[in-house]
Amino acid sequence: MSPDQGSEGLQRNDGRALWALASSASEATDANLRVPIVFRQQPRPVEARHRVIYRSSVLTLVLGRFNQHAARLDNLHLLMWATRSSRTRRLLLAWWSGRRFLTTVTVKLDPGLDLTLRLARADGLVQTSGTNQQRLKLTDKGVRLFEKIEEDPALLAPEKEFLTQLGRVSDGAVDRHLGRDRP
């Protein structure tokens, strides 16, 4: 088959013609295909929720909204998980308001929280508190950052709106709303 016939086949977009062209590759077409192929790794976007700055700021915001700026680790996991997307926010709000039965597992883990907490503690934004050092609490510096984040209503607006919908948040409130026994 001549190359002319091949291109006609392509124009007709005929599958059989394509197969025919592929199976009877002449030397000429073979030569045409001998082009050096280079693979380059294109930079890819990182999701904002994986960015350290975003994570630390949301952590500060969530802790700041808790009563006395302090929360238990499991509750922190839950709320950090919930701020992730509109779906998770809706889900938690449904549990919170009692629209959805608590039959599913309401203990949620935010995989990156451990690292975020380590960075925030190293930077002096967060400290442990409570009798057994079981709770996490914002330091004065953390509170300053929290207040600055709160100043600009457009900053982290969806997260803020979500947390505002929960009303007053505290460890006790989470236990009550999600029907948990106190550990």
- Smaller CB distance to another protein: residue 17 or 125? 125
Q: Would you give the distance in Å from CA 129 to the centre of its chain?
A: 27
- Smaller CB distance to another protein: residue 21 or 156? 156
Tell me the three state secondary structure of residue 73. Answer: helix
- Smaller CB distance to another protein: residue 51 or 176? 51
Give the pair of three-digit tokens for residue 13: 């977009």
By the 8 A CB rule, do 113 and 80 touch? yes
Tell me the three state secondary structure of residue 136. Answer: strand
Binding footprint of another protein on the chain (CB under 8 A): 41-54, 56-57, 85-86, 115, 119-120, 122-125, 141, 144-145, 148-149, 152, 155-158
Single out the residue of 168, 144, 164, 138 nearest to residue 153, CA to CA: 164
167: left (phi over 0), alpha (psi -120 to 50) or beta: left
By the 8 A CB rule, do 82 and 139 touch? no
Give the pair of three-digit tokens for residue 87: 């779906």
